[in-house]
Every structure is written in structure tokens, then in C-alpha cells.
Structure 1
Amino acid sequence: MSPHTSVLFDATSLPPNWGGVARYIQGVLAGLDELGVSVHVVAKPADIARLRDAAPGHRYHPAPAAIRARPVRFAWEQLGLPRLARTLGATVIHSPHYTLPLVSRAANVVTLHDATFFTDPEVHSRLKRTFFTWWTRRAAGRAAVLITPSRATADAVRASIRDVRAAMLVAYLGVDPAVFHVPASAEVERFAREHALDSPTGWIAFLGTIEPRKNVPALLRAHALLRERLGSGTPTLVLSGSRGWDEDAATRLDALTPTDLVVEAGYLPLDDLPAFLGGASVVAYPSLGEGFGLPVLEAMACGAAVLTTRRLSIPEVGGDAVAYTEPDSESIAAALETLLAEPERRAGLASQAAARSTEFTWLACARVHLDAYERAGAAA
């Protein structure tokens, strides 16, 4: 990186559960560290040790403890973040989650993870849709560079916003092979025992927040159709992730009984995910639209046979290494039934998926970010 470019990376948006956005932030910082690039990182005090463990080469700065409250964080972003950039001599501020300081001497790089707020507004709450479309428009008009995780997201932003002044770069997300890997049979057996899944029928895995665009109600209906057709030979459907604002899914989940063969596992520890995903008969991810589709990539890295949809960015991730379905329940059920009846096809997909996942690295992702910082620094 040019000696005239100094970057302040705003990691204060790390979520408490260290889900998808956190994996992105941690992965990019680790990739930059691997490239030998050091940036300033500001984060909540409680998050710094974990970030430093993953990427020790950066210079870390604690944000005020009060920013744990979201309104305080947004206020600090507008006032405290530009002030910190001036103190540190930063010429570029990277805001990795849509929002950015509206007034700053430093040039801005902003990551836009998703454009479904424009393309599929009905799958988001009104508040969330209003918030993210407003900030995406501000970023498109004020930032020097926008980073998106897929071509589909970049294209959707350009189609939805008439005047995108920022340069746009696509940085595919990565996957950490130390975390997401093909599990040993002993790992799968242990996971199955601990979660009472050690039956010959195995399980169908779903990983993600239960929100409307993840299409969980259709997956639940598809699984019910599968039980009608396969009876006792139906694998248990195991959902890992928190409940979002999908009232339809919540109603259906609350009405389930043990005979429905559906388990809500909640958040599983990262160490359990390879066995959960790689040990599943099928990983089902029937999303209505994704900015990238990180759960698909993580399942692929674990050697899973993945069933997903062709919506938006997902084919950029899955390529020919996953199976596809339309997102309606009948199509999902038929695709699941076909895959479950073809173990050789599942094994082939699993092998292709594991191989393809190696193309998505945080090092490659970080190289695009470095390009973004250079471009923004030149514009500062």
C-alpha cells in the first residue's frame, strides 16, 4: 500500500453473535495481515482480543464502551470516527457495513453486502428496508469506492440507484479452512450422538437466521411433503440459527411436535459446524436472494451436498458444485427426494463442492480491498 495511504477500519459494527458480518470483518483483516498490510482498526473493547488473535499485525484502538448501544454507535460514527481518523492521520476510512460518516476529511470505502432491499423489498421489514436503502444511496453518492461481495449485488446496486458516483469493486468472500473443513467420521459421529441424530436416516441441515428471505416456511412444507412420501425413512430437518422476524416460520415452528422430525438447534458453536454441515445428508438453503450466500460456501468447504436456488448471487458461489431447485415447497421436496435417493450423486457434489470452495480465500478478498484503499487514497 502506498506510504501516503493510511486506513482506519471501523469494526464497531461486529454483531454480538459473531455471525456473517463478523466472519467477513475477521477474514478481511486476516487476509490483509497475510499480505503484510497493517491498518488501524477501531472496535468495541470486548472484540479487540479476538480480532488481534486472528490478525495480530494491525494497530487496534478501543472505541468508547457506550457504543454497545446502537444509537450511540451511530452517533459516534458521525462524530467520533472522523475525529479518530484525523488523530491517527488516516486518509481512508473503511466502513464495512453500509453506513459511513457523512462528513469526513478522509475518503470513504463502504462495503454493501446485499441489494435485496431494492430487488426483493418484501422479504425485509419496513424499518430495515428503509434504513438500508437510505444508507446504500448515501454510500453510492459519497464514498470513493464501494465493495460488493458479488457481481449480482453490484449489478443490482447500479440498476437501483441512478447516480452511483463511487467506483465499484467485487470482492468475493472467503472461507477459513481451519474452521470449515471436511469433518472426520469421528467428528460426525460425536455430533450425531450429542444431538440425538444418530439414526440411519441422518439429517438435513439448514444454517442461517430464520428470516423471510431464507424461505424457511417453504422448507418446512417441503419436509412435511417428504415425510408423506418417505415415512420413517425421512431424515430429520435440523435448523441452526436464531429466529428473525419471520412470523410465518415462527408459527409453524411453534406448532411442531416430535413426530414432525424438525429440530431447532439454535446457534451451534463454530467447532460443531463442520460436523453439522459435512455430516448432513443434504444441506438445504432455499434462499429467495443473497448478496453472497456465505452459508452455501461454508457448507461446500465442509464437503456437503448442497441444495440451493439460482437467485441473485448464489450461482456465482455454487457454480456446478451444488444442486439447484426452484424456491417453492413442491420443487424443494422433489429435489430433496431425488438427492436422498442418489447417494453417488450426493458424494460427487460433495467432492466438487469441497474443491470449488478452495477458490474463495480471504487472501484474494483482501487483495481487492487493498486495491479499494489505494483508489480511495489517491482520491483523498
Structure 2
Amino acid sequence: MKILMVTRETQADRRYGLGRSLAPLVDEFQRRNIVVDYACQDDLGVRAMAWQRKLQRLLSGLFSPFNTDTDFPILIHVILERLNMGRLAARIAARHEHTHVHCHDPIIAAGFSFFSRFHPRLNARWGVTEHGFGCYTDAIHADGVRMGSRMLNWLRRWEARTLSAASWVVSPTRSALEQVAVGLKVAPVPTTWRHIYHARPMLNHYSREEARRRLGWQDDVLYILGIGRIAPVKQFPMLIEACARLKKQTDIQLMILGAGEHDSLQAMGKQQGLARDILFGSTDDVGLFLCAADLYVSTSASESFGLANLEAMAAGLAVLCTAVGGVPEVVGDGAQLVAPEPEALAGAMQQLLDDPELRQAIAQKGLRRAEAWPDIAEIADNYEKIYQ
């Protein structure tokens, strides 16, 4: 067995994106002497990127007269970027004789399926992971790509056809898989569709004192930690608004770990009256920050799994999450769940910050749930089953 994993991410995205959940799986397969290669945008050559940009300009010009209820320039960029990765995957798989190609995006899979026709000796099974809570078409729309109803329906049909041709379809939770089927009007759920959880995270652990010393954090300040790429779906503005409603502002510090443009969030914090500037950062050692913080908060509008939530539980940190998507399935009783709106969020945060014993009780429940979570060996077994 020789596997090619394909995503549209860059190497920089892998710190908080799919690469973070895929890395332990790749390592486990390699321990089993199974070859796993990983292709991402950084593997596209200069010529491939140049042709992608030229084609994007051409198609954007052709569709510009119809630019009414659909933002064609952005949508065309989204589609071409992923089709280009599918083309690259077909070339790599043919050259290196991969037996399995795992596309972490249905449009990448559609591109791989199409371009495979130009490699007659390529004989690889392929499948898709749907990482969102719901079909990928709806996720693109929710992430800010404006589309009219006709375009949405066309893309959903294309996505459904792609998944029907795949050897396997995977989602990270049962509820996410069911939501994909609902969004694409697929009933019943095919037997080739499976849910496979992300594995129990492996983190570096520190005492609170040691973690704070390394980070230079103050002992007399309560630190609230949010994690994730800075994108609309993470709803960091709502987290900032909720923090602005908290009492004793001078004793509270908000820290956001995630890549992206954060100047607007910093400006919002000042506008909302936060007593302290928001701290932003990125790291390869998320355990250090989790062990140093007092409260982890996720304000996502949607999550198919929520790996950072499970990481916070595994670190023994009190966890507060919006009750969205697959989050309740993953956290169970190991986190406090709240409606995704600022007033409810602020109320729950204030209660937890005011009550150290309550924080500790929630943290212990979360830790027990994380310790009982499937490890990477069990998760790799599940993937081997679908590949075989």
C-alpha cells in the first residue's frame, strides 16, 4: 500500500489546519512501514501557478457579465486552486505508483478523477474526506463566497456526483457525515461513507507555573485562550464582544493563537473597550499555551470535529464551546456548552472565571474524556480498513 494525501493547504497552514490532524496519522502509517506522501500547494510549480492565474483571469472575464448573485472571480479562484491540486495529485500518483489517493476536499477529488484519464497506467483507488459540518459547497458559501441559488444547486450536484464515484467518503464525526448527506440530498447514507474520529492528541505538558514562566505571563492575570485560523467561521469578533462584557477587565487577558490578519480584531478590541490589547501568536507547541491558560473558549459558528477543543481537554484546561456542529458529539460532558451568541457566552465565561472550583471540575471531566478517546493506533486501523 502506498498512499498519497492531498490538501489545498500551504506548509504554513499546516500548523493549525488539516496538517495538524493528519501528521499523527502519517507518522503512524510510516511506523507500520506504509508509505505515505503528502501533497499541498507548495508542491505546485511556478508554471502551474502561472497557468492557474491566467485561466482565472480569462474565466473571470468571461463570467463577469453574469456577475449578479454570484461572485464569480472568487468562486473561480476557489475551484481552480483545488482542480490544480487534483491535477498535481494525478501526476504524482502516476509517477510514484501510489495505490491510494486520499483527497481532503471534494473539488480536489473531482480534479484528480478528471486528470487521471491522462495517465493510462495510473491505477489508484481514491476517496474523499469531508472536513466541514455539511457539504463542501455550503461551507464555501458560509465562508464568504457569494453564490446564487442556481450556482449552489449546480455545485451540490457536482459534489454529490464526485462522492458517488469515490471508493470511500470520510467525515470526522457521525453528525458531520449525516449533515453532508442532508446537504447533498443523499439517502440512505451509502455503506462506503464512514465517520472516523481524529485521534487523541499528543501534547507537551507543563505545570502552570513553568508554562507561564516560559511565556512571560503574569501570575495575577486570568488568561482566556482562543485557537484557530482567523476566519469568519471562528467568530473571534463574538469572543471579543463577550470579553468586553466581563467584569474586572484589568485582570483578564485574551490570547488568540491562529494565523491570519489580526489588525481588525485588535482594533475591535480597542473599540469594545478591552483594558488590555489582545495577544496574538502562533506556535508548534500548543500544549505550552493550554497549560498556561485559565480558560479555553471556542466561539465557532460550525465545526465538524473541533480538534483544538479536544486538545484543550487533553491538557486539563477548562473548556467552553459553542454547541455547534459535531462539537457536542466530541466533547460530551467534558466541556461547558453554550449558545453561539455574545450574551450567553459572556455569562458562561464570567461564571467560570469567578469560580475556580467549577473550572477545575469541568477540566477534570474533560481530561477523563480525552484520556478515554481513541488513540492513533485505533484510528489508523480504521483507515486501513477503508483503504483495503
Q: TM-score range by the shorter chain?
A: 0.7 to 0.9
Cα 1:107/1:278, change in 2 over 3 Å: same
- Could you say which structure has the greater relative contact order, defined with CA pairs below 8 angstroms and 6 or more residues apart? 1
**Alpha-carbon shift at residue 139 of structure 1 (Å):** 3.4
Cα 1:146/1:225, change in 2 over 3 Å: same
- In the alignment, what sits opposite 2:170? 147
The amino acid of 2:132's aligned partner reads D
- In the alignment, what sits opposite 2:35? 39
Distance 1:133 1:191 in 2: 48
Preserved CA contact (<8 Å) 2:7 2:41? no
TM-score normalised per structure 1: 0.78
Preserved CA contact (<8 Å) 1:140 1:165? no
Tell me which of 114, 137, 142 is aligned to 2:160. Answer: 137
**Alpha-carbon shift at residue 11 of structure 1 (Å):** 4.0
Whether 2:245 is the aligned partner of 1:225: answer: yes
Distance 2:139 2:233 in 1: 8
Whether 2:181 is the aligned partner of 1:158: answer: yes
**Alpha-carbon shift at residue 118 of structure 1 (Å):** 5.8
Deviation digits for residues 8-30 of structure 1 (CA, Å, limit 9, x no counterpart): 31346442222221112212112
- In the alignment, what sits opposite 1:252? 268
Compute the RMSD of aligned alpha carbons: 3.3
- In the alignment, what sits opposite 1:8? 3
- In the alignment, what sits opposite 2:65? none
Tell me which of 89, 104, 129 is aligned to 1:111. Answer: 129
Q: Identical aligned pairs, as a percentage?
A: 22
Count matched residues. Answer: 340
- In the alignment, what sits opposite 2:196? 171
- In the alignment, what sits opposite 1:351? 364
- In the alignment, what sits opposite 2:103? 95
Preserved CA contact (<8 Å) 2:323 2:337? yes
**Alpha-carbon shift at residue 334 of structure 1 (Å):** 0.6
Question: How is 1:1-380 mapped onto 2 (pairs within 5 angstroms)?
Answer: 6-11=1-6, 13-17=8-12, 18=14, 19-34=16-31, 36-43=32-39, 65-66=45-46, 69=49, 71=52, 74=82, 77-98=85-106, 99-100=108-109, 101-103=112-114, 104=116, 105-116=123-134, 117=136, 123-126=142-145, 136-163=159-186, 167-177=192-202, 180-193=203-216, 197-226=217-246, 229-233=247-251, 235-243=252-260, 249=265, 252-253=268-269, 255=271, 260-267=275-282, 269-271=283-285, 273-358=286-371, 359-374=373-388
Distance 2:5 2:26 in 1: 11
Distance 1:93 1:215 in 2: 33
Preserved CA contact (<8 Å) 2:40 2:85? no
Deviation digits for residues 264-323 of structure 1 (CA, Å, limit 9, x no counterpart): 3132x222x223122211101121210110110111121110100221100122111111
Preserved CA contact (<8 Å) 2:41 2:85? no
Cα 1:363/1:95, change in 2 over 3 Å: same
Preserved CA contact (<8 Å) 1:300 1:306? yes
SS at match of 1:93: strand
